[in-house]
Amino acid sequence: MYQVALNIREYRPHDMEQILQLNAYGLRAAGIDPSDDYYDGEDFDDIERTYSRAAGGALLVGEVAGQVIAMGGIRRVTTEICELLRMRVYPEFQGRGYGKAILLLLEEKAADLSYQRIRLLTGEDQHPAVDLYAKHGYTVTEREIIMDMPSVHMVKELHGV
């Protein structure tokens, strides 16, 4: 397989249209209507407030040839806990370690921000995502049905990251 170089960097305002498209694609791929109010992306309404370092967050994009093909973020829940969210990789770029690279960088950022725990919510049927998180030390803490979809809550302790 031909490996394409991925450039991972912080979100910039001119990325907005591309991250909205990638996010909508990710939701549709999970069987979710992107226009559903539950998944409306309120964090995207004010990215600076949600994802800035000052707010205790980070939003990373992965780009190839200037196009955003992957992303992921963390946001503050409490002074000790952050939430991992918006992990997305376009399918033609999956299986190349790009999601893993963004995950590991976000974990480093979380540790740098003094978080002790990172949590996430994903679809139980999103096997590649669940497997990625489990491989990197996340454990399932709860299963529930959200909007008719089986979902799992996962957590990782960050000491030693």
Residue 75 maps to a domain:
yes
- CATH number of the domain bearing residue 67: 3.40.630.30
Rg from Cα positions in the chain? 15
- 133 in a structural domain: no
Q: Is 138 part of a structural domain of the chain?
A: no
pLDDT digits (tens, 9 = 90+) for 64-89: 999 999 999 999 999 999 999 999 99
pLDDT tens, 97-151? 999 999 999 999 999 999 999 999 998 888 889 999 999 999 999 999 877 888 8
Q: Domain of residue 57: give its range.
A: 7-118
Residues contacting 14, CB < 8 A, separation 6+: none
Whole-prediction pTM: 0.91
